[in-house]
Amino acid sequence: MTQGGIELHRTRTLTPPSVTVVRGIVTTTVSRTLIDLTECSPDNHLRRAVDEADRLGWLNLRDLDARMTEATGRHGLPRLQRLLQRHRPTGFSRSDLERRFLSLTAAVGLPTPLVNHTIEGLEVDFHWPDRRLVVEIDSYEYHRTRARFEADRARDRHLTLAGWRVLRITDHALVHEPQAVEADLRAATRSPAP
């Protein structure tokens, strides 16, 4: 139904956990709004909404999972569930991620890198001294704060100015997109050292 140029959507079910009050106005929660967007927004708009909710600290995965359970039968839920995979913790420890990465380096045919060594006064996850290449595995949970973001950039600048190339790989990419990580490693190791 359209009213005054605004398309109105009505729902038959709106449970109390899906409702909140913002500046005195009753509205749906972020979780419920994202679920509703699955029915009327293209993928790129839905992705931006999820990313923005996460950036603002409003993405509550536990609440969203509960609201999605209530919303069974909504056609857009599989799209939302796929988008949320980038925002969910991988559940892997640092040593699990290290093992996965070392397996990928072997698959690419690279020699085993040095692991958790100090170069230029900084401990790095992996490096190949002869190639002047550093690889850092970043988890979203650990690297999402402003302070961590700034510290990572300062480390990268320091290493780059000292003649090292730094390749950052997310834990999500390592677990869910190993072919892309392999391609990045092949490209980085083909490039000549500075």
CATH number of the structural domain spanning residue 162: 3.40.960.10
Dihedral angle of Cα 62, 142, 48, 2, to the nearest 10 degrees: 30
Residues 40 and 103 in one domain: no
Backbone angles phi, psi at 20, to 5 degrees: -145, 175
What residue numbers bound the domain in which 166 lies? Answer: 94-190
Residues 185 and 98 in one domain: yes
Distance CA 85, CA 94 (A): 19
Q: What is the pLDDT of residue 136?
A: 92
Residues 54 and 114 in one domain: no
Residues 50 and 125 in one domain: no
Distance CA 134, CA 128 (A): 7
Q: What is the pLDDT of residue 191?
A: 59
Residues 14 and 53 in one domain: yes
Nearest alpha-carbon partner for 176 in 92, 113, 50: 92
Nearest alpha-carbon partner for 141 in 90, 82, 65: 90
Q: What is the pLDDT of residue 91?
A: 56
Residues 27 and 99 in one domain: no
Check: CB of residue 10 under 8 Å from CB of residue 1. yes
- Those residues of the chain that have pLDDT short of 50 are none
Distance CA 58, CA 74 (A): 22
In 8-112, alpha helices (H): 30-37, 43-55, 61-70, 77-84, 94-108
Indicate the residue among 87, 103, 138 that finishes a domain.
87
Q: What is the pLDDT of residue 1?
A: 63
Indicate the residue among 87, 106, 140 that finishes a domain.
87
Indicate the residue among 57, 87, 117 that finishes a domain.
87
CA dist 130 to 51, 69, 156, 160, 189, Å? 39, 52, 18, 15, 11
Q: What is the pLDDT of residue 151?
A: 86
Residues 112 and 161 in one domain: yes
Residues 77 and 165 in one domain: no
Instruction: Kindly report the length of the chain.
Output: 194
Q: What is the pLDDT of residue 71?
A: 84
